[in-house]
Structure 1
Amino acid sequence: MSDTNPPAPENGFTPAAPKAVDAQSQLMDEVSGEVNLDVILDVPVTISMEVGQTKISIRNLLQLNQGSVVELDRTAGEPLDVRVNGTLVAHGEVVVINEKFGIRLTDVVSPAERVKKLR
C-alpha cells in the first residue's frame, strides 16, 4: 500500500512549490516594461490567403467533381484576406514571380487591431 503524502524532511523545512510561469510576464521586459518578442520569434505560424468563401450543403459538396465551379462571395479584383493562424492581418493582391504565386500586401491591419482580435 502506498502512502499518498511524502514523508516530512528531517530538518522540518518543506520546500515551496515551484511558481507557475506566467507566459505574459515572460513577454514583458521587467526593467523597461516593454514587450520582449524574442521568446516567440522562432515560433512557426501558418499564413493563408483567402480568395473568398461560400456555404454549401454536404450533399452539394459530395457532388463536386473535376470542372465544377464554386461561386464565392467576392467579386473579381477584390483584395484577398491574408490570415495568420486564422487571424486577419492584411489584404493583398495576387502576383506571379518566377512562375510562382505570391501576394502583394495592399493594406495591413494595425498591430493594435491584431492584438484586439486575439483576445
Structure 2
Amino acid sequence: MKGLAIVFAAILGLSIVGCSSMSPTVDGKTHVYSLTHKCPTLLEMDVGQTLELTLPENPTTAYLWQVAKPQNILKVEEIYRQDVLKSQQAMVGVAGEKLFRFTALQPGEEWIHVKHARQWKQKAIDEWSCRVRVS
C-alpha cells in the first residue's frame, strides 16, 4: 500500500510540473500562442528562439492585425494564409489567419503588442500583448 502511495505521489508530482509550464514550445525553440492561448506575465526567451502568434483575419473587411509598436530586439515576420478547402482555389472574401513570427535577435526586454483594427481608425476591436525578456 505504501508503494502504491509513492507511485501515485510521483505521478501527481510529474503532472503538476508539466502543467506549470508557462511557455509551451513546439521544438524547444518556438513558443506558440493565439487569441485563446495568452502569453504568461513575462515570457523568458533565449537569443534565437521564436514566438509564433496565429490570429484569425479577413483582410477584405479592412480589419487587419498589425504590430502596434516597432520592435527593437525582435525580428518580425508576417504571413497571411487564406483558408482554402482542398477542392477550392483561393477566393476573394474568404477568411484566413495571420501568423506573426517574432525571433529574438539580442538580449533585452520588449513588449509585443498587436492590434486588430482598420488602419485609419485609432480604436482596435481586439488586442494581444506579451512582455518578453531575452537573455
Please, what TM-score do these two structures have when normalized by structure 2?
Answer: 0.22
| Greater relative CO, 1 or 2 (CA 8 Å, sep 6+) | 2
| Rg larger in structure | 1
Q: Give me the TM-score of the superposition, normalised by structure 1.
A: 0.24
**Larger strand proportion, structure 1 or 2?**
2
